Amino acid sequence: MQQQIKEMIAAEISAFRLPRYDDIPNVGLYLEQTVHYICEYLDPLYHNAVTGPMISNYVKKKIVANPIRKQYGREQIAELLFITVAKSILSLDNISVLLTIRKERYGIKEAYNEFCEILEQAVKQAFGLCADTFPEDVPEDKEILRNTLIAAANKLYLEQWISRYAREEEKI
């Protein structure tokens, strides 16, 4: 049964892919549209990943810039995707520091696209869909990002496995 659970979870995750920076809509999205957009992409990993009040809280804490005319742009959506994943293991204060470092060193586009690539790889590894292929010699800030996303992916795998196992046990 345990192998079947792993295979079911892996099948659901195998097609997971985040939009790259240039694929994020360049027109502003209202709060509920932003919530829907983020949840649509993160649903294979997290159900109801983010809510309107959560986003408003991130803006209030100045982790994400205020919307312009109540609309969230590409940069804010990219940041919100990162925050939604990272909040499972980091405090908002730590997320804010990591976002600031990454944007200053690489710019939002490069930082976000690298986040996407590392997260997708970490998820595949955690769910047993590929071997570890991360380069070993990387700058410290990239290693911190990678470790953050590996931890988030492993936590996600454990939560999904335990949840699926409990549901299967109830059927018996």
Supply the pLDDT for residue 99.
94
Supply the pLDDT for residue 133.
73
Please state whether the predicted TM-score (pTM) of the whole model is above 0.95.
Answer: no
Encoding tokens for residue 73? 């742009």
Supply the pLDDT for residue 58.
97
Average pLDDT over residues 90-111: 95
Average pLDDT over residues 141-151: 93
- Partner residues linked to 30 by β-bridges: 71
What is d(CA 86, CA 36) in angstroms, rounded to the nearest whole number?
19
- The conformational region for residue 48 under phi > 0 = left, psi -120 to 50 = alpha, else beta, is left
Chain segment 32-79, per-residue pLDDT in tens: 999 999 999 999 888 889 999 999 999 999 999 999 999 999 999 999
